[in-house]
Amino acid sequence: MSVRFEAFYTAAFQTSLNDLDRIRRRIITNYFVIGFVMFAGFTFEAITWMLIGILVIVLFVMFYIRTFGISTQYYQQQFFLRIQGSIGRFLLPSSSFDLNRYIKLTELQAAGLIVHHPQQYGGRNMIEHAVGDDQIRIAEMDIRSSGRGEDGKPFQRTDFSGIVGVHAMHTGIANPLMLVHHDLLKTEPDPSIRRKIDDHQDLVAWYVDKEAFARWFSPSQLYQVVSFMEAANKQVFISVFEGGVCVAVAIPEKEKFRDAGLWTKANQEKEIRSLFETYRFVSEMLLSLNG
């Protein structure tokens, strides 16, 4: 357990998550109660042919939801506020949190993370932090494409799903400097400027100006990127472009904890630590990359 995560994962925070789990269990119980009543009511109606069974169902469900109901949407909002929102405030103390905002497509296109117009583009859970005249924004993004390939066959793919951060600033970099896990990009940039990274076979770079790349990406920062990828088993994208710095971490589809599912326990130290360390890496890289 890292020192910073230990400072974040306090008893008060765990109490908040345990309360969240009580809300989650109550919603599940409500579904079971309503389901049982509906089953019993329809069974009664099927046997007796009396419509009173349907009426009882309708009245009971209306009364039960009005009296005891908690919406799934409420649980998800509380999940995001208590977990992602708390992580954001801990790592960037003066930050704000918005459930519905996310990073604009044009910024990610300028950074080189996305080079086309995807069919599905969305996100959530924006963490926004002011740094002097600059702005740091971090959000969960989900970007998908579909269509027909060169062979004419239809395809669907995930272009990117994970955490993306942008530090808006003037860099003076006309041609983006990109450092990427070799499997992350679905559409690669110009192959003529693709470079290997010595001693780091999982990383590749795209740049025109070698001196500018060395100025922005020091050996210690390369080591930090590699260490995170090895420890977290996640793919990383970093770009320095004219409008700022972009740092993205792809999260595998199988890691569903951040989606706030009802069947997933909220107070899971391992899952929260993984999410925390991802946000920590993104925020620290955004703050440290300044050329």
Write down the domain spans for the chain: 3-70, 94-288
Q: CA-CA distance, 100 to 125, in Å (whole number)?
A: 6
Residue 273 neighbours by CB distance under 10 Å: 16
**For residue 94, which phi and psi values (nearest 5 degrees)?**
-95, 15
The DSSP secondary-structure symbol of 101 reads -
pLDDT in tens, 61-86: 676 666 656 788 899 999 999 999 99
Per-residue pLDDT at 48? 67
pLDDT in tens, 101-140: 999 999 999 999 998 889 999 999 999 998 777 799 999 9
Is 60 exceeded by the pLDDT of residue 176? Answer: yes
Supply 182's token pair.
Answer: 């070799």
Is 50 exceeded by the pLDDT of residue 248? Answer: yes
Ranges of beta strands (E only) in 9-133 are 96-98, 120-131
Residue closest to 56 by CA, chosen among 68, 43, 38, 69: 38
pLDDT in tens, 206-233: 999 999 999 999 999 999 999 999 999 9
Residue 49 neighbours by CB distance under 10 Å: 8
Average pLDDT estimate for 166-170: 94
The sign of the torsion formed by the CA atoms of 10, 12, 13, 14 equals positive
